[in-house]
């Protein structure tokens, strides 16, 4: 029995810090002069979780920032920059995600202005009352499971460079457990500082499964031989001086997988300390 394993890593090149089990992965590309450029990098939902504003008179979902003192209004993002979608007729969160994919695409990049430097993170929100967003509402709620990507310090920008694939080639079933492949990446920031780098599945799990709901055949990830799900800390010089690191994928299976072509996706990201 031969198995071709191609573990494809989706590489996120900037920042977000929370770990979730499902939802929209959102992070800032830049935050300058009260303007945020953001990227919805991925969005995963199961088929059963309900849309929290299903059957409302109206409901909008889209990208905005959370503030230290209050929730966002979604006015600049939705009304002025078209980063939103009406979703009150959609029963499940999966339907919301698919509607967004059809209307705007995933990945999705957009821009909007924020009220002040009190903004803390950018994420996917929905308006928590049945009306069109206005500057005065300030009552949006984070869409369930969404990552709210931490906005960087002023003038700080960090990046990860990695190959987009870890290709295991063709293996027999008896070669699966503990087979590993390693790639080398680089990490750098514009300013000196300490960051943590994480890697996980798109559902926020340590194991990245090749066989979906069967949850038998998987890979785990390590950064510099440390558990990537727990995160690995790096102190960087700044001035975009690059520091190398390794990302290793190790295969495992509870029972022998069936023959076939297998692909799995994961995510790697940075958080500030």
Residues forming CATH 2.60.40.1090 domain(s) in the chain: 2-14+155-272
Contact criterion met (CB below 8 Å) for 187 and 240? no
Contact criterion met (CB below 8 Å) for 241 and 234? no
Tokens of 151: 């906005």
pLDDT (0 to 100) of residue 174: 78
pLDDT (0 to 100) of residue 16: 28
State which residues of the chain have pLDDT below 70: 1-22, 129-130, 154-155, 202-203, 272-273
pLDDT (0 to 100) of residue 22: 54
Which top CATH class is 2-14+155-272? mainly beta
2-13 pLDDT, tens digit per residue, is 333 333 333 222
With vertex at residue 208, the alpha carbon angle to CA 202 and CA 215, rounded to the nearest 5 degrees, is 110
Q: pTM for this structure? A: 0.64
167-178 pLDDT, tens digit per residue, is 887 877 778 888
Tokens 């029972």 label which residue?
A: 255
Per-residue burial over 102-121, b = 16 or more CB atoms within 10 Å of its CB, e = otherwise: eebebebebebebbeeebeb
């Amino acid at each position: 029995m031969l198995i071709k394993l191609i573990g494809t890593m989706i590489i996120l090149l900037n920042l977000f810090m929370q770990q979730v089990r499902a939802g929209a992965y959102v992070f800032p590309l830049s935050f300058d002069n009260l303007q945020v450029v953001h990227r919805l990098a991925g969005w995963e939902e199961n088929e059963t979780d309900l849309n929290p504003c299903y059957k409302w008179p109206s409901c909008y979902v889209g990208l905005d920032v959370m503030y230290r003192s209050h929730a966002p209004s979604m006015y600049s993002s939705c009304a002025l920059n078209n980063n939103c979608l009406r979703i009150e007729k959609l029963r499940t969160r999966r339907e919301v995600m698919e509607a967004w994919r059809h209307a705007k695409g995933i990945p999705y990049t957009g821009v909007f202005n924020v009220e002040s430097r009190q903004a803390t993170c950018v994420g996917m929100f929905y308006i928590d009352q049945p009306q069109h967003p206005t500057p005065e509402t300030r009552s949006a709620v984070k869409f369930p499971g969404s990552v709210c990507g931490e906005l960087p310090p002023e003038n700080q920008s960090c990046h990860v460079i990695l190959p987009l694939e870890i290709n295991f080639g063709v293996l027999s079933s008896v070669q699966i457990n503990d087979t590993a492949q390693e790639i080398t990446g680089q990490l750098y920031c514009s300013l000196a500082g300490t960051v943590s780098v994480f890697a996980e599945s798109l559902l926020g799990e340590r194991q990245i499964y090749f066989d979906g709901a069967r949850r038998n055949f998987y890979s785990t990830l390590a950064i510099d031989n440390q558990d990537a799900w727990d995160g690995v800390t790096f102190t960087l010089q700044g001035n975009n001086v690059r520091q190398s690191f390794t990302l290793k994928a190790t295969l495992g299976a509870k029972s022998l997988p069936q023959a076939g072509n297998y692909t799995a996706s994961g995510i790697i990201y940075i958080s500030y300390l």
